[in-house]
Structure 1
Amino acid sequence: MFTGLIAGVGRLGSREARGGDVRLTINVGTLPFDGVALGESIAVNGVCLTVVEFDATSFAVDASNETLALTTLGGLEIGAPLNLERAMLPTDRLGGHLVSGHVDGIGHAVRRWDDARAVRWRIEAPMTVLRYVAHKGSICVDGVSLTVNAVDATGFELALIPHTIEHTAFHAMREGDAVNLEVDLLARYVERLLATKDA
């Protein structure tokens, strides 16, 4: 489980085909990396992945074909900046919102504009994601817990403050880029409960 508060920005170091899927090596960059362990979960652009190898400056993860098909990880270029977060501890503050690292869909950053010191973005998203997006609700975009400023039938808007831009990979985001989206866990569970209440 994660909070959506990015702990560091790393980069995609390599992509290696292995037995029909892929092993990715991630350079940790600014991620605090002390005490890392094999089998640990790290969110990479919002995707929960398992550490299978590591050294002092990088870690390797195996990405299944499903992960590559349902997230942006398969299309990233070597050297692409990545939002990184290690799994939360029971004693951590929950400053963002509960994030599982299970991507619900891919959106596209279609418009950027300045709003005082903030940067506003419009993200277009599939209806399978938008049905869970609420005005002033939470959404996870490339692993970052953000507040929805507006939502309509085709997408939603975000406002990124200077701190968020400086300390995440959003500083490199361009119009047209694909992003991983994870909806608020509570919205999913509420829908499931309502669907089964008469069962």
Structure 2
Amino acid sequence: MFTGIVQGIAKVVEIHTAPGLNTLVIELPEDKVHGVTIGASVAINGTCMTVTRQEGQQLYFDAMQETLRLTTLGQLKIGDLVNFERAARIGDEIGGHLLSGHVHTTARLAEIIRTENNVTLWFEVPESWMKYVFPKGFIAINGASLTIGEVEANRFNVYLIPETLRATTFGGIEQGETVNIEVDSQTQTIVDTLARMGYDRPASTV
């Protein structure tokens, strides 16, 4: 499990491609690799990955075809920066909301609005996933736990403060980029349960 509190920014230093499998070599900050063991779970842009090898600050992760298809990891290039979070331990503070690291879908950054002290990002999401997106609800974008602002048709926005921009890759994100989305598990459970009972909520058409 993860908390959605990004622990830092890491760099893709190598990508080894094989049929149906990419091995990503990602370099973490020196102070973030202490105690990492083979088999440990690390969220890379919100995707739960297993450490298969370690060389100093460089961790190796195998991304199979299904992961490459469902997430943005297959689009990564050498030199790209990613958000990372090591798996939560019992007793850790849950500063965001509980995440599984299982990406549900991807979204496109449709618009960036920059003001003096914050940034507003508008994302377009496949319509089938909008039933889980509510104003003031939780959502994870590239592994970061964020609060949804406004919801319109097939898109929603989030408001980012300077600290979030500094601590994550959102500080350098560009319009048109694709991000990983994990919807809030409690919201998904409630919506799906109500749907089975016949209380479907149509997607917002505001």
TM over 0.5: yes
C-alpha separation in 2, matches of 1:36 and 1:151: 39
8 Å CA contact retained: 1:123, 1:157? yes
8 Å CA contact retained: 1:41, 1:48? yes
Deviations 1:118-176 (A, max 9, x none): 01110111112211011000100000000101011110011110000001011110000
What is the 5 A alignment of 1:38-49?
38-49=38-49
C-alpha separation in 2, matches of 1:19 and 1:125: 29
TM-score, normalising length: structure 1: 0.94
Q: Which residue of 1 aligns with 2:57?
A: 57
One-letter amino acid of the counterpart of residue 181, structure 1: I
TM-score, normalising length: structure 2: 0.91
Aligned-pair identity in percent equals: 37
Q: Give the 3-state SS of the residue equivalent to 1:128 in structure 2.
A: helix
Deviations 1:60-88 (A, max 9, x none): 01101000011001012211110000000
Q: Which residue of 1 aligns with 2:117?
A: 117
Q: Which residue of 1 aligns with 2:157?
A: 157
**Where does structure 2 lack aligned partners over 5 or more consecutive residues?**
199-206
C-alpha separation in 2, matches of 1:109 and 1:158: 11
What is the 5 A alignment of 1:102-113?
102-113=102-113
User: How many residues are treated as equivalent by the alignment?
Assistant: 198
Give the drift of 1:37. Answer: 0.7
Q: Which residue of 1 aligns with 2:33?
A: 33
C-alpha separation in 1, matches of 2:149 and 2:84: 24
C-alpha separation in 2, matches of 1:27 and 1:173: 20
Q: Which residue of 1 aligns with 2:66?
A: 66
In structure 2, the CA distance between the partners of 1:30 and 1:113, relative to structure 1 (3 Å rule), is farther
**Where does structure 1 lack aligned partners over 5 or more consecutive residues?**
none
C-alpha separation in 2, matches of 1:30 and 1:155: 38
In structure 2, the CA distance between the partners of 1:31 and 1:77, relative to structure 1 (3 Å rule), is farther
8 Å CA contact retained: 1:9, 1:31? no
One-letter amino acid of the counterpart of residue 184, structure 1: D
C-alpha separation in 2, matches of 1:93 and 1:193: 29
